Amino acid sequence: MESTLTGKTIVITGAGSGIGRATARAFADHGANVLAVGRTLEKLKATAKGRPSITPVTADISEVDAPQAIISEAVAAFGGIDILVNSASVFRPTHLGMITPSEFDQFIAVNLRAPLLITQAALPCLERAEGTVVNISAAIGQHGWPGLCVYGATKAALDFFTRSWANELAQSCVRVVSVAPGPIETPILENNALDDQAVMTIHQTQEQIPMGRLGTAEEIAWWILNFTDPLASYATGAIFAVDGGYTVA
């Protein structure tokens, strides 16, 4: 049976590892063309290995010109965009007493400004395609998280984008959802230099998961993919936790 994703074009940021990589592979395995965005070509090539429909694109999404360049590349390669997955993010400890203005600005640039500018640049394509935006936020966006207040604040704000854009774009038949993962087994800790206290906080968080285990990147990718299915067509503005029960514990 032909997949509903055959021939569709997906742009995924943060596709060089973890959830972004698993999502890029899942879409490619369902027949989609995938533009896989990240800063490190080797990681993107590893994502694309054995899957010729994944095209690696190196870009630092914190740079102001990057969003338009990414979208232009997708249009040049595939003629349009059907689905956008905003998955890249910065994840670092931010103790109130130590956070600097430039660290704060970096969080905003990657976790908020880039999803906004990429979605804005993709909007004409998404409207033509009646497409879907999936923002990857975090289940902890609903809690306080000592030592990680700025990361958590950007994720709560990303969910606010989701709810607001869902309203703005409903008439254009563009749907916007957040998938909010709980603790997932990915290289996120290695990719971001965390101090001992942050690692301890994260381990304490993991101990509170009712299901008693971390999730896998593939378990998140499945939900991202299924939120783009035509049968999910009445879901917009939803913040969907995939967290082993963490948010209800």
Ligand X SMILES: NC(=O)c1ccc[n+]([C@@H]2O[C@H](COP(=O)([O-])OP(=O)(O)OC[C@H]3O[C@@H](n4cnc5c(N)ncnc54)[C@H](OP(=O)(O)O)[C@@H]3O)[C@@H](O)[C@H]2O)c1
Site of interaction with ligand X (CB under 6 A) = 13-14, 16-20, 38-40, 43, 60-62, 87-91, 110, 136, 138, 181, 183-184, 186-188, 191
> Which of 30, 43 has the CB closer to ligand X?
43
Residue with tokens 């689905």: 83
User: CB 108 → ligand X: shortest distance, Å?
Assistant: 12
Q: Which is nearer to ligand X, 14 or 147 (CB)?
A: 14
Question: How far does the chain reach from its first CA to its final CA, in angstroms?
Answer: 40
Three-state helix/strand/coil letters over 134-181: EEECCHHHHCCCCCEHHHHHHHHHHHHHHHHHHHHHHHHCCEEEEEEE
Which residue's CB is nearer to ligand X, number 4 or number 208? 208
Q: Is 68 left (phi over 0), alpha (psi -120 to 50) or beta?
A: alpha
In angstroms, give the least distance from the CB of 127 to ligand X: 25
Report DSSP letters for 81-123, one per residue.
-SEEEE-------B-TTT--HHHHHHHIIIIIIHHHHHHHHHH
Which among 151, 161, 223, 227 is annotated as catalytic? 151
- Give whichever of 158 and 166 is closer to ligand X, judged by the CB atom: 158
The residue whose Cβ lies closest to ligand X is 18
Q: Judged by CB, which is closer to ligand X: 88, or 121?
A: 88
Q: Do the beta carbons of residue 20 and residue 45 sit within 8 Å?
A: no
151: annotated active-site residue: yes
**CB of 201 vs ligand X, minimal distance in Å:** 13
Do the beta carbons of residue 43 and residue 17 sit within 8 Å?
A: yes
CA angle 191, 197, 199 (to 5 degrees): 40
Report the nearest approach of ligand X to the CB of residue 136 (Å).
Answer: 4
CB atoms within 10 A of CB 104: 14
Strand partners, 58: 38
Residue 162 Cβ vs ligand X, minimum distance, rounded to whole Å: 13
The residues that are catalytic are 151
